[in-house]
Every structure is written in structure tokens, then in C-alpha cells.
Chain A
Amino acid sequence: MKRRDFMMAGTVAASGALLLQGMSEVAHARGAEPRRAATSPSAQTKVAAPGGQVSVTTPNGTTLPWQYLKGVKVGHLIAAPLQHEFAPGLKGECWGYNGRTIGPTIEAVEGDRVRIYVTNHLPEPTSLHWHGVLLPNGMDGVAGLTQKAIAPGDTFKYEFTFTRPGTFMYHPHYDEMTQMALGMVGMIVVHPRAPHGPHVDRDFVLMTHEWKIRAGASRPDPGAMLDFNVLTFNSKAYPGTEPLVVERGERVRIRLGNLSAMDHHPIHLHGYYFNVTATDGGYIPPAGQWPETTVLVPVGSTRTIEFVADVPGDWAMHCHMTHHVMNQMGHDVPVMLGADAKRISRRVRAVVPAYMAMGENGMGEMGDMGMPIPPNSIPMVGGKGPFGTIDMGGMFTILKVRDDARSEDGTGWHRHPEGSVATSASATDLAADSIDPSRKAGEQG
């Protein structure tokens, strides 16, 4: 039944031009019944596979639309240069698929026959590798090894069947260093024919990635090996990342992928523990799953986690490498911490009047200083939060758990119950608990 509905939607979306303009929403709107409409926060929660499996949401991204032709799902990926906004204030000259990075998420069901055309509008050859997908060797997309490279202007046809469910990725296998550094990555979600485990209400994909863009420049540096300074979920750096909005009590699945050049990412979720339920190798049987609050996502791997979002709030989710939650941090500057800034300023301002000492007390307030910086750069920029500046950037996003998710458009903040927010201690509190703030550190033993 479902399958036929999809095919009907497919005929509506037959136009190739429309295909590239995010027809998936149209297809879903027409072809899928909204599930639990009363509590669903948006129209994006739709059934994508048998057993009521919901379609995946790609924050800041889209899903590749299909044409349904004689039992084959037909898609088209166009590799081309594009301009991408990493966060407000930082645009980059990138490469990607169908006008975006990350490329549209390829969503299919176990057993689907797919035919994907790949057109190369890049200035150099490319190829497409279906990372983790089991398929005929000639479809594996390794230029030179299993196929010819796709020359600029040429279009290749890949056709295979998704024989195993899981979370996979796609990327070029020609000049990967350049093409992936510039943004040519995407996620693949293959739903099982029959769902595994408990019913999942929200299914997100987050691709981690890392870039080097010098402050004021706009071209990611493909030669970077160590000093990456823009870290992203789905090619967005906080505050450019869309929050994950869920309703209290929903079971949430997050599929994490990593196509960074050089770094594994320990992704930490606040407020919950979760189970790692799958890797790109497949589903982990319940007996093999283990609880975590941080999951390490190695380069070239996917990890799927699930949890029940039963505590409302604005919960941070981020890579726990501190340099991965900064935007365009410079790494080759003298340490100013603890230095007598007045002594320095007096001398330096005598010759450079615009000079302002920075960092002598730490760097937490850098984003609020408002000093002129190079255009198209977001060094130290954070986001605005309900209690002030959120001085984080990069691979950082927020899980927003709401009692009524429909009331949340993504910009709101959690309403804390009275007395449940940490505040400056009152004198009464201090006295009652015999806390003496004037006591020097170290005296307590």
C-alpha cells in the first residue's frame, strides 16, 4: 500500500527540474499519512517505511527526491560548486550535490532497487562511492579501481539494490582530499523492511565534518591536515545549526556519520543516556547495546543512538573536543592569559592605536567585544541564549524537548519551573549552609 502511494507521488514529481527543488516534501505530503498528528511538531514526521517507520529529518538539509519508474527509484545527484553559509557571517566557496552541502540524504527501504545518475559539473573528474552499502563491485565508485572517473560534463549511472538496512554515507572516491574538504559528503538511510526494536518517533541524521577556512577567506583549504577551524553538523557551525525539536516522551534516533578528514568526534548529549543501537555495519541486537552519554564516531563510520526524550529542556549536544566547539579559532597566537594587559597596552597603543589587549582574563567574552574583524569570518562567535551569550560554536547543537512540540518553531527557549535554575547564592543560603565565599581556595583541604 505504502509503496503504491509513494509511486503516485512519484508521478506527480516526474519533472526533473522539480526533482531538484526539494520535491520530497510534496511527495511526503501527498503520499504519507501524518502519524500522531496531534502531538507531532511538524509535518515532517512522516512514514517512510513499513511498520510506521518515520522518515528521517536532516537538520539544515534535505532528502533526495525519487522518481518511481517500473519498480526502480530513480534519483539524480549533480556535483557542482556552490556557495554555502556555515553560519550567519561565514559563507564559503564549496562543492556539493544538488546545490548544497551536505548533499541530500538518500532515504530508501531495504530491498529497494535504485538507479542514481551522477552528473559532474565540477572542474575535475569525480566518482561516487556508496560508503558501507553492499553492492556489486562495479558500482562501488572507486575511480580507477572499479570504474572510470566521471569526467567534467559527463553523467554516470549507478544502479543497485539496497540489500541491507542501516545508516551509510556517500562521497567521491576521486581526489577525496579536495572534494570532501570542500563539502562533497552525504548520508544514506536504508530502513529495514520490518522495524528493529521499539517504535521510533523522531529519526535525525547528523553528518560531522571539519574544514579549514582562514578568517576572512571563503575557500575551504583542502591541504589542511591538523588546524581545522570550522567544525560542523550537516555542514553548519553553531549558531548556524538547526536545533533538534522533539516532544516529551518521544523515542528519538540520531544517526551520526563522520567524513571529517582527520578527526574522530566524541559526541556528547546532555540530559540523557542513550543506547548505541547500530553502526554502519548494521543493527546491534538489544543484548549487545550499551548505554552511553558520549559516543565516539570514528572517521568513515556511522553510529546510531536512541533514547526516550522524557525530560523537557534545552539540552546541548556537541563534540566534546574543546577545539571542535569553537569557530575559526586561531591557534598560533601567544598566550595572553594572566598577563598584565595594561603594561602591554600602554606600549602597543603608542604605535598601534587601534590595539586592544585580549585574552588576559580568558576568552569567554571574546564574542561580545564587538571589535572589527575580517569580513566573512566568525571567530569566537557564539549564539544568543536565554541567559546570555552561548560562547560555543562549531559542532554544537541543541536538543529541544517540549511538552508540546508544535508550539516550538526552533527559536524558543525552555521555560524552567520556578527555583530550578542555578543562580547566584543569597547571603541567607550561604549562612544557612555555612559557606564562606571569602575563604581562599586551598584552605579547605
Chain B
Amino acid sequence: MECRWVEKNTGRVMRISRVVRTELVAPLSLLLAACVSQSTARDYGAVREMTAARVDFRLPEQQMEVGRDDVDADVRALLKLPLTEQSAIRIALLNNHDLRAELGSLGIARGQLVQGSLLPNPEFEAAVLPPTKTGNTTDWDLGAGIDLTSLILRGQRSGIGEAEVEAARARVAAAVLELGFHVRTAYYSVLASSQRLELMQTALAAFAAGYETARTLRAAGNTTELDLATERAAYEAARVAVSEAEADLLDDRERLNVLLGVHGSETAWTVAQRLPEIPAQLPDQAHLESRAIDASLELAETRALLKAMSRRVGLAENSGWLPDLSVGVRAQRDSGEWNVGPAVHGTLPIFNRQQGGVITNQARFDQLRDHYVAIAVEVRSAVRAARNRTASAQQRAQHYRDVLLPARQEVLKQATLQYNAMQIGVFQLLQARRDQLDAARGYIETLREYWRTRAQLDQVLAGGLAGSVGPMSSEQSRGGALSSTSALAD
């Protein structure tokens, strides 16, 4: 309760008197620690609310403890079931240590705020002059005081800390969104690679059928060594291709493993889904750019940083003009008599009025403001790019689904009829089947692209960062919020 009061109350005089009083209480440091812990929980709650308003997943109610090694029971339970997109995100939110580290930055900002809000320690001095041969009394000179300037500027320093806490909340919320985004795309990639592998295994079976047929025909004396060698070469090449596809799937699983924060036996998870069909409609296209701007957490963070920087400018200006003043009392016992009176001590702001600090901070502010505009330009571009790629992938996927796949199916059907009519041979029939599988593979790749770009679009509209424009490699989009900012600027 005390802490909440400290948080809320901004009346400077009140606070001073209150804290002066509490300074006298012994378990001061313990109390302070409790206050900070509760404030951090409130920061976490704020981040949780910010993200919940933007995406369809939630941070766990309680913040995971930083530095925990054991995998939570929830995570273990989720890993036992086949993964879904949502369960993968939940696991990552519980178990991704990069995210936990990022959440730790809330404490860093909070600590800086607390540090800036602390009262200056009281100063005291004492001098004892023992009696001399000529004098007959011990003289005392006692003084106590406090740094008045520091007290006066304490409020402004708190203001900076508060703005930086706000920035940290936005940054951490962006990191949460980004993790969800990466888990989504990594999950889709696993699905796509897994389905691609299935198709390639079926294609391999078709090559195997061709090879087996050639061997059988060769054994019957019906075909040449050339035909047999040709079929065999095609089969062996298909085996290599399947092996590559297996490696691709393993890579994709590893990318997701890292995001899920799992290792060892926990990496044996399976997936429940297949790549979803594309929805008939794109998400709402109205006011895309302004929605992305409104939602952007990076812009919110930068706004908070701008606020903090403007406060730093103000602090520098004020501290430049204010003399360094300490006030207190002084007591002297001279010749056996106590004399008590007020005391003041200070410097005069004549030469050093923090002019350099003001210029530096002003320049930093200007820099940040330009950076803000640049980010806004990039966010607008990112949402357009994501929309364009999503629309393009959607069109291609629809074309695959509605036109190309049925056309390939028809080719196979007609090839079967022609085979039955003995117009073509079994090798041509198998080729028609493989062509159909190739088209299916193209469809899966297009679906993969659709869901990746769709996740980008959702991500930008939710206010998160979604990598750079164009095809995104997962390496490129890794890293924290700020490093992703630079990726966006690349």
C-alpha cells in the first residue's frame, strides 16, 4: 500500500516529508525491493494487456521467473499433444528464454526509474576540538543538511524514468508479438516442409515404380539397358531429392525448436495440422496504412523515448540554471555554549550551466524525431508490401487450387484412359502422376508463402515488426525488437 502511494503521489513536498520519515525505518531496503517487484508485475500486466488487445494469444498470467531452467508442467503437457499453431505459440510464450530476457528489460527500466526517484542521502559533518592549554572547553561543530537541488530535480528525473518504462513496455510488447509471429511462420514452414516431403516421397514411389517396371521388362527381354539405366538414374536422383527435403524439414523443426525453447527429448513433438486452405477473402483492406501506424508498437516506443528525451533536455536546462544548493542546520558549541543556526552551501551557475548537455540531448531528440518519421514510412511500406505479397500469393494459390491442380488431375485421368486404350505406356502414365505431384508441390510452396505473408500482414496490422519487404528468410527476422528495427530499415 505504501508503495502504491509512492507511485501515485506526485506531490513533491508530501513525498519528501513522507520519505524522510520512512528513511528512519529499519527494513527500508526490503520494502523498496517489494515495491519494485510489484511495479514490475504491473509493467508485465500492462504488456499483457497491450498484446492481448492486438493478437489472439495472451501472455501467461504470471510472468515466468527469469533464470528458471526447468520446463513448466504446462509446456510438457502441451508438447505431448500434437502441436497446433496456438499451442506452439503458448509454449513459446512460456518457454522462450529470449522472450524472458526481453521481459527482464522491464525490470531494467523500472530500476532506472526507481534509481532516479530516490531521495538524496542526508549529509552531515562533525568536528570536535579538544580543550587546549589556554582554553578550558571542548568545542563542537556539528552540521547536517540535504542536497536541495537534487531534491528539486528529483521529479524531473522520475519523469524521464517513467517515459522510459513506457518505452520498455512497448518494446517488450513488440517482442511478444514478434515471437508469436516467428512461431506462426516457423510452424507453417514445418507443415509445408512436412507436406512437401510427403509429396516427394510419393514422387519417389512413382520413380521406384518406373525403375521396377524397367527392371521387370529388362528381365523379360523387352527393353534395353539404356531404358533401364535411364529409369534407374531418375529414381536415384529422386532419392537425393527426398533426402534434401528431409534435411529441409529438420531445419524447419530446429527453427521452431529454438523458438519453443525446447531441447533433448522435448524436441520429439509432432504436428496436428496440415497447411490450411486459403480463405476466400483477404483481411479488411480499408485504411491499412493508418491502421498499421496507429497500432505500431515501434512508433509507440519511439514516442515514449522522444518524451524521455525532451524531459532530459528540460532536466539539463534546469540543472544548468539551478545552483547546487544544500541546506541544513549547523550547531556549534564554543566556550561551553551551543549555537544553532541554518546553513546553506552551494555553487553558482556562472560558467557551467549544462550548455553542452542541453545541446547533446536536443540533438538526440532531433535524431529520434527523424528516426520516428523514418519508421512511420517503413511501417507504411511494410503493410503495403505484406498486403501485395499476400494478395499475390492468394491469387496464385487459388489458381493452383481451382485451375492447375484440377488440370493436372485431368491429365492423369486422361493418361489413365489412354493407358487403358494402350495408346501410351506405363512410363508415360507414371510421368503424368509425377507431373501432378509437382503441381501439388508448387501448391504447397504457394500456400507456405501465403501463410507467411499473411502472418506478416497480420503482424504489421497488430503493431509488430515483420521483417523486411519481400521474401523473408527466418534468419533475417530473428533477434530483438531493436535489431529488427534495423532489419526493417535495411
Q: Could you tell me which A residues sit within 8 Å of B by CB distance?
A: 214-216, 328-330, 332-340, 343-344, 347-348, 350-352, 354-356, 358-359, 363, 366, 371-374, 377, 379-380
Contacts and interface: CB of A to CB of B under 8 A. Distances in A.
Interface string B223-255: 100000000000000000000000000000000
Contact of A215 (B213, B418, B430, B433): B418
Interface of B: 202, 205-206, 208-209, 212-213, 216-217, 219-223, 412, 414, 416-427, 429-430, 433
Contacts of B423: 214-215, 328, 330, 333, 374, 379
A214 B422 CA distance: 11
Contacts of B223: 334-335
Given A339-B216, A351-B433, A356 B422 contact: no
Those 6 A-B pairs whose CB atoms lie nearest each other, nearest first = A347-B209, A330-B423, A333-B425, A379-B421, A335-B222, A371-B420
A330 B217 contact: no
B416 A352 contact: yes
A336 B219 CA distance: 11
Given A215-B421, A352-B433, A373-B421, A334 B427 contact: yes
B221 A338 contact: yes
Contact of A344 (B216, B418, B420, B422): B216
26 contacts: A215-B418, A216-B414, A216-B421, A330-B424, A333-B422, A333-B423, A333-B425, A335-B222, A337-B222, A340-B219, A344-B209, A344-B426, A348-B426, A351-B433, A352-B429, A352-B433, A354-B416, A355-B419, A355-B429, A366-B422, A371-B420, A372-B416, A374-B417, A374-B421, A379-B421, A380-B422
Contacts of A344: 209, 212-213, 216, 426
B212 A343 contact: yes
Nearest to B422: A330
Given A339-B216, A344-B216, A379-B423, 16 more contacts: A214-B423, A216-B421, A328-B423, A330-B418, A335-B217, A335-B220, A338-B221, A339-B220, A339-B222, A348-B429, A350-B205, A352-B430, A352-B433, A355-B429, A373-B420, A377-B421
A334 B221 CA distance: 11
A209 B456 CA distance: 67
Contacts of B427: 334
A374 B424 CA distance: 12
Counting chain A CB atoms within 10 Å of each CB, the highest count among B209, B412, B426, B427 belongs to B426
Contacts of A379: 421-423
Contacts of B421: 215-216, 328, 330, 373-374, 377, 379-380
A281 B212 CA distance: 58
Contacts of A359: 422
Contact of B216 (A343, A351, A355, A366): A343
A47 B483 CA distance: 106
B422 A358 contact: yes
A379 B424 CA distance: 12
A334 B209 CA distance: 14
A380 B220 CA distance: 24
A352 B412 contact: yes
A372 to B, nearest CB: 6
Contacts of B209: 344, 347-348, 350-352
Nearest to A380: B422
A356 B426 CA distance: 9
Counting chain B CB atoms within 10 Å of each CB, the highest count among A328, A351, A352, A354 belongs to A351
A361 to B, nearest CB: 12
A372 B216 contact: no
B438 to A, nearest CB: 13
A366 B422 CA distance: 9
A358 B430 CA distance: 15
Contacts of A352: 206, 209, 412, 416, 429-430, 433
Contacts of B216: 339-340, 343-344
Given A344-B213, A372-B420, A355 B220 contact: no
Contact of A347 (B213, B418, B429): B213
Nearest to A373: B421
B418 A329 contact: no
A343 B430 CA distance: 15
Nearest to B413: A354
B426 A355 contact: yes
A348 B213 CA distance: 8
Contacts of A338: 220-222
Contacts of A355: 416, 419, 426, 429
A372 B220 CA distance: 28
B422 A339 contact: no
Nearest to A375: B417
A337 B422 CA distance: 13
B228 to A, nearest CB: 12
A384 to B, nearest CB: 20
Nearest to B223: A334
Nearest to A342: B216
A338 B221 CA distance: 8
